[in-house]
Amino acid sequence: MRLYKKEGNTIQILSFPSDNVEKGDYLLIEDPRVNKKLITQVIDVQFASVPGLLEELLRDSTTEQSVHGEVFDPLEVSSHINHIQDAWMLLCKIRGTIENEKLGVNVSWLPSRSKSGIKKFSIPSLLTHMINNGNLPINIGETKEESRFTINAHDLDGKLNIVTGKKGTGKSHLSKLLVLGLVDCGATVVVLDLNGEYTNLGFSSNGEKNEYHDRVHVLTPGASLKVSLAQMDLKVMLNILVHALNLPGTSTREFRRIWRSLQQRRAFTLQELGEAIRSWNCNSHVRDALFSRYYSLLNSGFFTDNVAEATTFEKFFEEIRKGGALILNLRDVSSVDRQIVVEYTLGKLVELLSQWKIKAVFLFAEEAHLYLRETYWDDIVTRMRHFGVFTTFVTNQPDTIRENIYRQADNIFLFNFTNERDLETVSRAARVDSETVKSIAQDLPPHYCLVLGKVVKDFPMVVEVRAFDVQTMGQTRLFFTDKN
């Protein structure tokens, strides 16, 4: 391999197929004169633009189609010519330097073109140069060199993460791995499980209970997740009415008064609320509006007057104090009810965090655009983060996540995307250049993921996500399964 060109932070390296370099590989350019090494990552492998190649190919194509013959080449010069034809140009991005065996980001120097040696730099070797921030490893999978690839739970702590990729590439699988990895590290995890994919995390693939069984609690709204009005904070209730049920302003004001009156009477039941609305002295339109919302709350099945039946998050969080996950199974829950549940849950989380009843929560949100209201996006990356809600968004539609989320994301676990628009969206992430995202993600095979951000100290790495023995629920139900 020879250093050919440098433009900005892009380096072009002449290579040959025998070098066996692939996209995502790291190369070390070592300049012996200055005793410095430049770390670069291959983001694209192209054919070298060799002069005269077009003539060569035209001539060969003539030969292939209609002309047959032999070549008498006793010196076997042709093999050298073919070698030149197959030459590669590796497009690499500069990621850092190694100076005195220490990893650095100072890339203000340029290695010698004639003197520098270039060799492959394995990910395990790169990882040995990185400073370890802690000792809470989460085993994600394997690197190309078949060495174990772990991230540190500390690098997810207080961070905003995105897991994205097109359908069937393994995003949910990775997020389950992260959930269980965090649970292993003693973290509290809440999953907004849109399709009920996480509900069997406590079972092995053979249906038996696994080591996580007692640490994973599945809450299904209307069944195992019900709340009483007494547990509700007015603010949370107003959020539900305004954002999930679109209650107009005037009616909201009246509801606030009704709620206060119930509060004074200590009569927080659904029946009392219905009675209060009926007897409340207000405009009939307001009453109608309040009644329609009241029936929506009633029909959601999420609310109960039976205190024994009501779920207390505090109890569950206490149970998983040493690490566990609460799975909110939103499968088969209507869009409005889903929003009601999420509004309540997030409100409750903030309440518990602000009262220091729980330390912090890792929130996993699958396809969040389907239940997260507009104003929550900013809230999640700013206010809620400070309270201790560290969110991981999981989506196959990257454009449903706002641009500012990408810009502020600390870690991105990127699976394959072929659609350029999707790649364009993800490439807005601030932690990596857009070329890397577009070029590498496009060619990732299923279950391979490009890890970007703090977990890899901003050295993008391609990882094959490992398999694990958990009963999966994310598989699509098929019609023709039995016909094979």
Partner 1 sequence: MKNMEGEYFQPNKIIFNQTATENFEDATPVLGTHDSFTMESIPLKPLLDDTPVAAIDISSIKIGETETGVLCAIRGAIVWKKKNRYQYLRLGPFPFHLTEENKKEIYNIFRRYSFKVSEYASAPSLLNMQTRIGNLLERWLQLGISCSAYDSVILWDGSLTAGTVDSPVNAISQLLEIARNRLNTILAFSKTTNLRLLGYRLTDLVEKSDPPCLLQINGFPIPSGPVFPLGNVYVAKLTHGICSFRLDIDKKVPRERGIEAVQKLLGSDLLIQSYPETLRLAHIFSTFTATEVIGIQRFIAQQYGLKIIARPNVRRLLFGPFGKGSEG
- Pairwise CA distance, residues 387 & 77, whole Å: 70
Site track for partner 1 across 173-212, x = CB under 8 A: ----------------------------------------
Q: Which residue among 14, 34, 53, 310 contacts partner 1 (CB under 8 A)?
A: 53
Q: Which residue among 4, 19, 56, 112 contacts partner 1 (CB under 8 A)?
A: 56
- Asked whether position 14 contacts partner 1 by CB under 8 A, the answer is no
Closest approach of partner 1 to the CB of residue 81, in Å: 3
Closest approach of partner 1 to the CB of residue 83, in Å: 7
Closest approach of partner 1 to the CB of residue 88, in Å: 14
Q: Which residue among 55, 64, 146, 482 contacts partner 1 (CB under 8 A)?
A: 55
Q: Which residue among 59, 253, 260, 357 contacts partner 1 (CB under 8 A)?
A: 59
Closest approach of partner 1 to the CB of residue 113, in Å: 13
Closest approach of partner 1 to the CB of residue 39, in Å: 29
CB of 222 within 8 A of CB of 302?
Answer: yes
Transcribe 440-462 into DSSP letters.
HHHTPPTTEEEEEEGGGTT--EE
Smaller CB separation from partner 1, 52 or 207: 52
User: In 280-362, which residue ranges form alpha helices assigned H by DSSP?
Assistant: 284-300, 313-319, 335-354
CB of 308 within 8 A of CB of 228?
Answer: no
- Asked whether position 249 contacts partner 1 by CB under 8 A, the answer is no
Site track for partner 1 across 72-101, x = CB under 8 A: xx-x-xx-xxxxxx----------------
Which of 52, 127, 107 has its CA nearest to residue 84? Answer: 52
- Asked whether position 62 contacts partner 1 by CB under 8 A, the answer is yes
Closest approach of partner 1 to the CB of residue 31, in Å: 21
- Asked whether position 52 contacts partner 1 by CB under 8 A, the answer is yes
**Subset of 408-447 contacting partner 1 (CB under 8 A):** none
Smaller CB separation from partner 1, 87 or 352: 87
Order of strands across the sheet that contains 216-219: 148-152, 137-142, 461-465, 448-453, 411-414, 161-164, 389-395, 361-366, 188-193, 324-329, 216-219
Please report which helix (H) or strand (E) contains residue 55, including its range.
helix 53-65
Closest approach of partner 1 to the CB of residue 87, in Å: 9
Residue 251 is encoded by which pair of tokens?
């009616």
- Which range, of 20-28, 44-52, 412-420, 447-455, touches partner 1 by CB under 8 A? 44-52
CB of 166 within 8 A of CB of 418?
Answer: yes
Q: Which residue among 67, 131, 308, 478 contacts partner 1 (CB under 8 A)?
A: 67
CB of 416 within 8 A of CB of 393?
Answer: no
Q: Which residue among 33, 68, 102, 315 contacts partner 1 (CB under 8 A)?
A: 68
- Asked whether position 71 contacts partner 1 by CB under 8 A, the answer is yes
Give exposure, 171-210, as e/b (b: 16+ Cβ within 10 Å): bbbbbbbbbbbbbbbebbbbbbbbbbbbbbbbbbeeeeeb
Smaller CB separation from partner 1, 49 or 135: 49
- Pairwise CA distance, residues 116 & 118, whole Å: 7
Query: Helices 284-300 and 249-265, interaxial angle, to 10°?
Result: 70
Smaller CB separation from partner 1, 85 or 269: 85
Q: Which residue among 35, 46, 61, 63 contacts partner 1 (CB under 8 A)?
A: 63
Residue 56 is encoded by which pair of tokens?
């060569």
Q: Which residue among 7, 8, 18, 51 contacts partner 1 (CB under 8 A)?
A: 51
CB of 158 within 8 A of CB of 180?
Answer: no
Closest approach of partner 1 to the CB of residue 86, in Å: 10
Smaller CB separation from partner 1, 78 or 292: 78
User: In 92-202, which residue ranges form alpha helices assigned H by DSSP?
Assistant: 123-129, 171-184
- Asked whether position 18 contacts partner 1 by CB under 8 A, the answer is no
- Pairwise CA distance, residues 209 & 87, whole Å: 55
- Which range, of 66-74, 91-99, 118-126, 273-281, touches partner 1 by CB under 8 A? 66-74
Q: Which residue has the tokens 């269980």?
A: 180
Which of 14, 38, 36 has its CA nearest to residue 27? Answer: 38
Residues that bind partner 1 (CB under 8 A): 50-53, 55-56, 59, 62-63, 66-73, 75, 77-78, 80-85
